[in-house]
Amino acid sequence: MPAVALRRLAALFLRVGNFTFGGGDPIMAALQRELVERRRWMSAEHYGLAFALARVTPGTNVLAFCAAAGWFVRGWLGALVAVPAASVPSAILVIVLTALYQELQGLPLAAGAIGGLLAAAVGMMLAAAWNLLRSRMRPGNRVRIAALTLGAILLLKALSFSPVAVLGLGAAVGAIWPGPPADREPREPS
C-alpha cells in the first residue's frame, strides 16, 4: 500500500464524510469505493475487517469505521485525522439544520425535500449492501447468501434478536455451511 499524506487522507474523509447523504452505510460504501477500488489505500480484507468491527462497536458505526480505516491507512495519526474530518463539519451542519427545521417544519416544500432525501438514503443503503455482497455472488454460493440474508432479517425483525446474536449465529452457520471452494481463500500461516 502506498504511503498517504495526512492532508490527502483528511481531504478524502472530509469530502466523503460530509457530502454523502444517508448515514453510515452510504458513507462506508463511498469510502470502500475510494479507499479500496479507486485509490488502493486499503485492501479489501482490511476494509471488510474495519466494516465488521464498526458494526459490532457500541456507538456510532461510521465513526468507528473511520477510525479503523484511518488506522489501516496511516496508523494512529490516520485515525486521529479521519474521525474529526468526517464528523465535525457535519455535526455543525446538523446543529444549524435542526434550528432551521424548527423554523420551516410547517412548509410543504420542506416536507417534500425531506421525503426526497429519505428515498435517496434508502437507495444508497441498498447500494452499500450490494457492494458488500457482489464480490461473493458466484454460482454455488447464491443460495447460501440468500438463506443467510433472509435468516438474519427474520431473526432481527420478526424475532427481535440482537444484532450481536445474529452475527454470532451467522458465523456459526458459515462455519458449518462453508461456501464453494472458489469462495474460500487460503490463510497465511501464523
**Which tens digit of pLDDT belongs to each residue from 75-94?**
999 999 999 999 999 899 88
The pLDDT tens digits for 102-115 are 777 678 887 788 77
Q: What cell does 115 get?
A: 421525503
Set of cell numbers at residue 90: 457535519
Task: Identify the pLDDT of residue 185.
Answer: 53
Task: Calculate mean pLDDT across residues 3-23.
Answer: 92
Which amino acid, 103?
E
Write the DSSP symbol of residue 57: S
Backbone angles phi, psi at 179, to 5 degrees: -75, 180
Nearest to 29 by CA among 119, 117, 121: 121
Q: Cα–chain-centroid distance for residue 150?
A: 20
State the pLDDT at residue 83.
96
CA angle 22, 23, 27 (to 5 degrees): 95
| pLDDT for position 63 | 94
Q: Does the pLDDT value for residue 127 go beyond 90? A: no
Amino acid residing at 165: A
Mean pLDDT of the chain: 86
Torsion sign over Cα 67, 55, 39, 44: positive
**Cβ-proximal residues to 181 (8 Å cutoff; 6+ apart), any chain:** none
Question: Average of pLDDT values for 1-19?
Answer: 91
Among 31, 95, 99, smallest CA distance to 63 is for 31
